[in-house]
Chains A and B, each alone.
Chain A
Amino acid sequence: MTTLIDKTSPARSGGQGPSGSGRRGPVVILRGSGRYRLILAVCLVLAAGFVAWGGTLQPFEQGQLTRAGIFAIAILGLNFTTGYVGLLSVGHSAFLGLGAYTTGVLVVNYNQTALSTIPVAMGICFVVGLLVGIPALRIRGLYLAIVTLALGVAFPEIVARLGGLTGGAEGLTIRRTLLRPPEWSGFTLGEKDQWLYWLTIVCLLLAFVVLRNIITGRYGMAMNAVRQNEIAAAASGVNIATVKLLSFAVSGAITGLAGSLFAMYIGSLFAEGSFTVLAGITLLIGLVVGGERTMLGPIIGGLIVVFLPYYTSDIGGGQFSAVLFAIALIAVVFVAPDGIAGGLGRIIRKVVRVDARRPDGGREGGLFGDAPTATATESGSAR
């Protein structure tokens, strides 16, 4: 048995855990335990119910839900780099536009099916994300925001310049027949909006799962580390440059996916209309109000940036609606500085807390006793 440290060291006088001192703390649930899975299952059923309900809605309402889903995907992408790695991007509208125009140009000029353009759009946005990530290696914070702002401002201008390909200022119209749902889906041309709703849901789900896998895993921990202290991250072996570049690229690809869906949704693309810096700021608003660095925040943010303007314009017309929208946003940020998802999370954690569970299977032979991994050459003397 190895010598153990004195258990009464001041470190533990915090009274952690529910069974501690008189004050009642939150109920602790271990990650991966039966109760944890039960709660997760209930949440999944609720989400599935909501999605199924959306499937039965009238075309207009369903279209709005599709739009919210598309924005949710775009904000998920933004959250990945701006939220977790802390690389502030104002110009993510450019990725939205790049994805949209990739799909538009390939469908209209090169006769591709809409669905097949999605991976191409994501690939192009990934590469452009890598390139745009390069300035992020040297600068951060507001200075990086200005670089990305320039990207957002430049995008509509570039689209206008490449008029032969993109239709320039007149825009690019994708005829409805070109957006026919594929045979195997079972949807007819008349059910295009239904098809797009379900396509968006599937893409949202895939993006959510993939990003969640990264964020909750060790790569995600390294991303958080880079945001909070670069020197400590590097001293722990994290390659700061790789993490920043790849996070920007993945972020661009996911937002590009949203752009591709957006092109199918809107049908006619005007860079001056949909993909200006204002769209980039809308994504940021969705991120901050929904909840930075949470998995649900981008989804809440997507719903907010699409639906909140409707409600405010119901109450007050014209410019007054914009003022109401602004007041609502300020109110949210005032009440919950960490966004709606962050605020809800804080309240929930007062009642239920999820803790990491220690993996099963105790060791024999002390520290790293039977560890089969790495550095075997250095510790040759160990047993």
Chain B
Amino acid sequence: MLNVSDVALTFGGIRALDAVGFTVGPDEICGLIGPNGAGKTSIFNCITRIYQPDSGTITYGDTDLLSVPRHRVVGHGIARTFQNLALWPQQTVLENTIVGAHSTATPNLFASAVGWHATRKAAKQVERDAWDLLDRLGIADLASHPAAGLPFGTLKRVELARALISRPSMLLLDEPAGGLTHSEVDELGDLILDLRRELGFSALLVEHHMGMVMRICDHVVAMEFGRTIADGSPDDVKRDPAVVAAYLGTPA
């Protein structure tokens, strides 16, 4: 499915990514772990075409993602959330969710100007999907509330709704548990597993919360200093000496 290989990325003299490679299979939840600055979010930004890698390849199915324009990535089935939230604060929760469907049912300026019947019907359909999703994520009664001013955990759910409404086959989640309480983290883990069962998607998960990574991931990739240092089952990666050293440091 998603295949990242030999990706390198530099900012000026800083090597953010250096020969990173891994594969995420169908219906697999893959965890991407590593200390701060290891390059996890940079990988996300390469996959979603925000950054252009200096070398390497990223493919999804048969598609060479590096030749896909930024706004087309989601149309290939890859939707993402952001580490520090990237919502549109003045828009309501419902509107934030609806824009997420832009790729599956792209609105036409001129058709909406005259208000074609077909345009309205398509809009109604998207609206229904958005309400269903908000309901499923437990935030339907905030639908008419602007995103600004809502709690962080709620906004993370709005981002999740916005990503899911495009019916992705690959979900990129950037620290979904960041800033959540313990019980919320457990709830979120269950939610992701349930949603995968209901909707069917693979996921790539950047996460610092090891409990959640170990519980929901089928496969874990560890990074340090822009390199892949371990790749395997959660248990194997947890015991890998290189990973232990990266997190705890080597004894002097």
- Which residues of A does B touch, CB under 8 Å? 2-7, 9-12, 14, 16-17, 210-211, 213-214, 217-222, 224-225, 228-229, 231-240, 246, 250, 353, 355-356, 358-359, 361, 363, 366-368, 371-375, 378-379, 381-382
Q: Which residues on B sit within 8 Å (CB–CB) of A12? A: 138-139, 141-142
- Of the stretches B114-122, B225-233, B239-247, the one at the interface is B114-122
Residues facing A in B75-113 (CB within 8 A) are: 75, 77, 79-80, 82, 86-92, 94-95, 98-109, 112-113
Q: Which residues on B sit within 8 Å (CB–CB) of A235? A: 48, 70-71, 73-74, 79-80, 82, 86
* Cβ-closest chain B residue relative to A240: B71
* B54 close to chain A: CB less than 8 A: no
* Cβ-closest chain B residue relative to A210: B113
Other than A5-B187, A219-B109, A235-B82, give 15 A-B pairs with Cβ distance below 8 A.
Answer: A10-B184, A11-B142, A11-B153, A14-B145, A213-B112, A232-B88, A235-B70, A235-B80, A235-B86, A236-B99, A236-B100, A250-B109, A358-B143, A363-B128, A367-B132
With most chain B CB atoms within 10 A of its CB, the pick from A355, A356, A366, A372 is A356
Please report the C-alpha to C-alpha distance between residue A14 and residue B80 in the assembled complex, in whole angstroms.
27
B99: contacting residue among A4, A218, A353, A358, CB under 8 A? A218
* Cβ-closest chain A residue relative to B138: A5
Please report the C-alpha to C-alpha distance between residue A374 and residue B105 in the assembled complex, in whole angstroms.
8
- Which residues of B does A touch, CB under 8 Å? 48, 50, 69-75, 77, 79-80, 82, 86-92, 94-95, 98-109, 112-115, 119, 122-129, 131-133, 136-145, 150-151, 153-154, 157, 162, 166-167, 169, 184, 187, 190-191, 194, 198-200
Please report the C-alpha to C-alpha distance between residue A319 and residue B200 in the assembled complex, in whole angstroms.
71
Q: If A11-B154, A366-B198, A368-B199 touch, does A218 touch B124 (CB 8 Å cutoff)?
A: no
| A381-B200 in contact (CB<8A) | yes
Among all A-B residue pairs, the 9 with the closest Cβ atoms: A237-B103, A5-B138, A232-B86, A11-B154, A355-B144, A237-B102, A218-B107, A228-B88, A217-B112
Q: If A235-B73, A373-B104 touch, does A379 touch B200 (CB 8 Å cutoff)?
A: yes
Please report the C-alpha to C-alpha distance between residue A11 and residue B115 in the assembled complex, in whole angstroms.
36
| B98-A218 in contact (CB<8A) | yes
Least distance between B168 CB and chain A CB atoms (Å): 9
